[in-house]
Amino acid sequence: MFTRRSFLAAAASVLVERSILPVRRQEIPPLEDQVPPMLDHILLGAGDLERGITLVLEHTGVRPAFGGVHPGRGTQNALVALGERHYLEIIAPDPAQHTDNTLARKLAALAEPRLVGWAAHPRNVEALAAQLKRASIAAEGPTPGSRKRPDGRVLHWQTLNLKDDAGGLLPFFIEWDAGSPHPSSDAPAGCQLIRLEILTPDPARLARLASAMSLAVPIAKGPAPQLRAVIEGPKGSLSLTS
Mean pLDDT of 132-146: 92
Number of residues assigned to the chain:
242
Q: Are strands 65-70 and 114-120 parallel, antiparallel or unpaired?
A: unpaired
Q: Which residues pair with 175 in a beta bridge?
A: 158
Q: Are strands 154-162 and 139-148 parallel, antiparallel or unpaired?
A: antiparallel
Contact 239, 195 (CB under 8 A): no
Look at residue 28 and give its three-state secondary structure: coil
At 180-223, the pLDDT tens digits run 999 999 999 999 999 999 999 999 999 999 999 989 999 999 99
Would you identify the CATH topology of the domain 33-241?
2,3-Dihydroxybiphenyl 1,2-Dioxygenase; domain 1 (3.10.180)
Backbone angles phi, psi at 32, to 5 degrees: -65, -20
Q: Which of 90-104, 158-172, 179-193 has the lowest mean pLDDT?
A: 90-104
Mean pLDDT of 139-147: 90
pLDDT for position 32: 45
Residue 186 CA to residue 118 CA, distance in Å, equals 20
Q: What is the dihedral of CA 76, 82, 84, 90, to 10 degrees?
A: -10
Residue 219 CA to residue 210 CA, distance in Å, equals 10
Q: Which of 10-14, 38-42, 50-54, 198-202 has the lowest mean pLDDT?
A: 10-14
At 99-118, the pLDDT tens digits run 788 888 999 999 999 999 99
pLDDT for position 70: 85
Percent of the chain with pLDDT over 70: 86
Average pLDDT, the chain: 86
Mean pLDDT of 116-127: 94
Percent of the chain with pLDDT over 90: 69
Give the pLDDT band (50/70/90) at residue 33: low
pLDDT for position 16: 33
Q: H or E element: which one contains 102?
A: helix 102-108
pLDDT for position 131: 93
Name the residue among 194, 203, 238 with its Cα closest to residue 90: 238
Mean pLDDT of 163-178: 94
Name the residue among 109, 102, 98, 100 with its Cα closest to residue 48: 109
Q: H or E element: which one contains 173?
A: strand 172-176
Mean pLDDT of 141-151: 87
Residue 78 CA to residue 51 CA, distance in Å, equals 11
CA quadruple 16, 21, 26, 28: dihedral positive or negative?
positive
